[in-house]
Amino acid sequence: MNIPKLQIQTTKAQIGLDIQKPNQEIQQPKANLDLQQPKAKLLIETTKSKLLMDAFQAREDLDLKNARSRTTEIAQRSKQEVFEGITRRAQEGNELMRIENGGNPIASIAKNKGSQPYSGVNIKFIPSADSVKINFQPANIDIKVEPQKVINNSKVNKPIHHYTPGKVKVEIIQNPLLKIDWIV
């Protein structure tokens, strides 16, 4: 007995893709750099230093005296010598007045007038220590600095962007096929 048979024949569909890749270009131009730094403002104020030297005593020690000091010194020495002379004459007068007490007052007075007093050897440093008085006032410096801000005129450039999108073209290379057949 012949049984009919069903025969199915299929052909797959074939799809073809034509792909154009996308294209992207990005460029970043350098920034325009414009920076300026103004100089800081500097103000310096100084007061002068002062040096005061008083060499009056040193000049006196070196016997380089001014007229006022010299006059005062001579007046004091003269006054002292006058008093010493008065004292000496009073003593000599007293000695002569008491001649009756014995001794030889005239010879003793002559001997005292004729002999020089002994002067020892003394070392003297001229001028004396600390005879020059020094007063120093140091200078005073006041510094003021005023910094200036940076002037920034820089400009950022935007990126240059070119984009071409991709394309996909789809086509059917082979159509699907389905054949159904009865075989008897």
5-18 tens-digit pLDDT: 888 888 898 998 89
Contact call for residues 137 and 49 (beta carbons, < 8 A): yes
Alpha carbon 78 to its chain's center: 62
How many C-beta neighbours within 10 Å does residue 25 have?
Answer: 9
Output the pLDDT for position 128: 77
Which residues, in sequence order, are CB contacts of 1 under 8 Å at separation 6+?
none
pLDDT, average across residues 149-176: 92
Contact call for residues 53 and 136 (beta carbons, < 8 A): no
The angle formed by the CA atoms of residues 141, 49 and 61, to the nearest 5 degrees, is: 160
| pLDDT band of 130, cuts 50, 70, 90 | confident
Contact call for residues 16 and 131 (beta carbons, < 8 A): no
pLDDT, average across residues 74-81: 92
**Residue of 97, 116, 96, 115 lying closest to 106 (CA atoms):** 96
Token readout for 22 is 């996308």
